[in-house]
Homo-oligomer: A and B are copies of this chain.
Amino acid sequence: MRFHISTTSRLPIYQQLAQQIREAIARGELLPEACLPSVRQMSQDLVVNPNTVARAYTELEREGLLVSRPGRGIYVAQPRNDLTPAARDRRLIEKMNPWLTEAVHLGYAADEVLRLVAERVREFQWQNEKVA
């Protein structure tokens, strides 16, 4: 797994890293129980402050995506299944509003949005099976 940060992006560095790790996990490139590079190692690779890497890891741990085992390293967590289907839906729908709103403002027609989502979903090499 190689990550890289863009010093020209306006996004905070720790968030760039966090989002890349999230997507790597989502894509299945980082499997559960995989071990991530140490804070020190990663900070050297990316040429950033160790604090910045630590912050990204902390954020992901708080989200339940990573688990740190003190003295041994930081690992990809098992996928959580503690949400009821209704709670899952609620959570996802809630976060849909801002970008759907953006779509309206950008002048997208309804079917264009659906087309774009479908396209992106394909590119994501979606691996989840339908659970219901």
User: Within 8 Å CB of A127, what residues of B?
Assistant: 104
B83 touches A100 (CB 8 A): no
Copies of this chain, tallied across the complex: 4
Partner among B63, B67, B108 whose Cβ is within 8 Å of the Cβ of A128: B108
Which A residues are closer than 8 A to B by beta carbons?
Answer: 7-10, 12, 19, 22-23, 25-27, 33, 62-63, 65, 67-72, 75, 79-84, 86-93, 95-114, 116-118, 120-122, 124, 126-132
How many Å lie between the Cα of A114 and that of B23 in the bound state?
19
* Given known A82-B87, A95-B98, A99-B95, contact A67–B10 (CB-CB < 8 A): yes
Distance A65 CA – B45 CA, assembled complex (angstroms): 31
Q: A70-B12, A95-B98, A99-B95 are in contact. Are A110 and B121 (CB under 8 A)?
A: yes
Contact A113–B121 (Cβ < 8 Å): yes
Instruction: Report the separation of the CA atoms of residues A102 and B88 in the bound assembly, to the nearest whole angstrom.
Output: 10
Is B80 a contact partner of A107 (Cβ separation < 8 A)? yes
Chain B residues with CB under 8 A of A91: 102, 106
Closest chain B residue to A110, Cβ basis: B126
Assembled-state Cα–Cα distance A90/B119 (Å) = 13
Q: How far is the CA of A104 from the CA of B33 in the complex (A)?
A: 17
